[in-house]
Amino acid sequence: MASLLDPKTFQLLRRASREARRRGVLVDDLPAEVVATLMLPRVDMAKWGMPANSEVTADRVHGNQAPANALAAAAGGYWLPAAELLAATWGDWAARVEVVRALGDAAAADDTWLSAWRAARPRDPGHAVVLARMLIVVAWQVRDSQRGVDTTREQFVGFRRVLLEARQAAVAAAEVAPEDPTPWWAHVTLARGLSYEHDEFLAVWSELLARDPLHRHAHVQALRYWCRKWRGSDDLMTEFAATAAATSPTLAVLPLQAAFEHDHDRWRDQDVVAALDTLLTRLSTDPHDTPFTRDERGWAIQALMANNRHNEAITQLRALGTHADAEPWSLSESPVFLFLQTRTKACTNAGRP
């Protein structure tokens, strides 16, 4: 095996193996910051105004105390903090999606508290949409995040069965809270897995738009529906992204995400660069630090790096600070390492701080 590797790679792997033995763990179990220290060029991040590698985390609720407290209570079987947190988001649909995502993801691991919430308050509109999100997460766990060609028939059957349960939950959530676009966001998400025909999807999409025409999270899910991996094509996806971005700067990230999904390298295409510049302008005046804005910064960094705009990428990396929870890194199995790799490359190519 060693003869198949170049000398530098071989030496790096040897260093990683020695460190793993010293710690009494497998190489794959080494912390991401340790792997980064062993594998990446050494850069003094403090000089670039960024935190040390050891401070970086992919925890999506890191630094956000309210969701962290609600999730901690849920882990202990107490549902009321989660219910109160979600109720407080009414009317702020972007915040509501983030809370539903966090709660649904937690319930996918242990839904004891969610079952207790449902039993205590049967008509509460909150737990219905959390259930829909939970079932969507469980369905993708059943599918095991494999490509279609790698998914077994049993996985497909289980995947579809759980998504049909999620659809029932989403419909129920929409019935008890007809003004809320969040159940329709969930429905847009599961429509991809259930392979809705275009007309069927557009009917769901129209319900979402009627409640929030600029719903950013739903637009991201719709973009994925229209990509070639699911029910669309490169052209349909690109057209959807361009049309949406033209309606509002709040949707400028979509052409960047479409470039990532595209079959060809489009990062330097004029429309993608224009969307990037629109996004950067908006982010420069946006004081919010939410999971969605971190995703936007992540995609901006991806586009900036592809266009060799390393100093601008560093500005966005500084804004992310210790957060490695954003896309595109979160789409991988090693988000922290890829985040550290990106900022090391940005600093190395930028020259001096």
Mean pLDDT value across the chain: 90
Q: For position 144, what pLDDT does the model report?
A: 73
pLDDT tens digit sequence for 280-294: 999 999 888 889 999
Q: For position 39, what pLDDT does the model report?
A: 76
Q: Do 128 and 183 contact (CB within 8 A), yes or no?
A: yes
Q: For position 63, what pLDDT does the model report?
A: 64
pLDDT tens digit sequence for 35-59: 777 778 889 999 999 999 989 998 8
> What is the band of 149 on the pLDDT scale with cuts at 50, 70, 90?
low
pLDDT tens digit sequence for 119-138: 999 988 899 999 999 999 99
| More confidently predicted of 108 and 20 | 108
Instruction: Reply yes or no on whether the pLDDT at 194 is more than 80.
Output: yes
HEC string for the chain: CHHHCCHHHHHHHHHHHHHHHHHCCCHHHCCHHHHHHHHCCCCCHHHHCCCCHHHCECCCCCCCHHHHHHHHHHHCCCCHHHHHHHHCCCCCHHHHHHHHHHHHHHHHHCCHHHHHHHHHCCCCHHHHHHHHHHHHHHHHHHHCCCCHHHCCHHHHHHHHHHHHHHHHHHHHHHHHCCCCCHHHHHHHHHHHHCCCCHHHHHHHHHHHHHHCCCCHHHHHHHHHHHCCCCCCCHHHHHHHHHHHHHHCHHHCCHHHHHHHHCCCCCCCCHHHHHHHHHHHHHHHCCCCCCHHHHHHHHHHHHHHHHCCCHHHHHHHHHHHCCECCCCCHHHCCCHHHHHHHHHHHHHHHHCCC
Instruction: Reply yes or no on whether the pLDDT at 3 is more than 50.
Output: no
Angstrom distance (rounded) from CA 201 to CA 199: 5
**Torsion sign (Cα): 320, 322, 326, 330:** positive
pLDDT tens digit sequence for 291-306: 999 999 999 999 999 9
Instruction: Reply yes or no on whether the pLDDT at 332 is more than 60.
Output: yes
> What is the band of 67 on the pLDDT scale with cuts at 50, 70, 90?
confident
> What is the band of 72 on the pLDDT scale with cuts at 50, 70, 90?
very high
Instruction: Reply yes or no on whether the pLDDT at 5 is more than 50.
Output: no
Instruction: Reply yes or no on whether the pLDDT at 1 is more than 60.
Output: no
Instruction: Reply yes or no on whether the pLDDT at 150 is more than 70.
Output: no
Going along the chain from its start, the domains and CATH numbers come out as: 31-58+233-353 (no CATH), 64-231 (1.25.40)
pLDDT tens digit sequence for 220-277: 999 999 999 999 999 999 999 999 999 999 999 999 999 999 988 999 999 999 999 9
| Share of residues in the chain with pLDDT > 90 (%) | 72
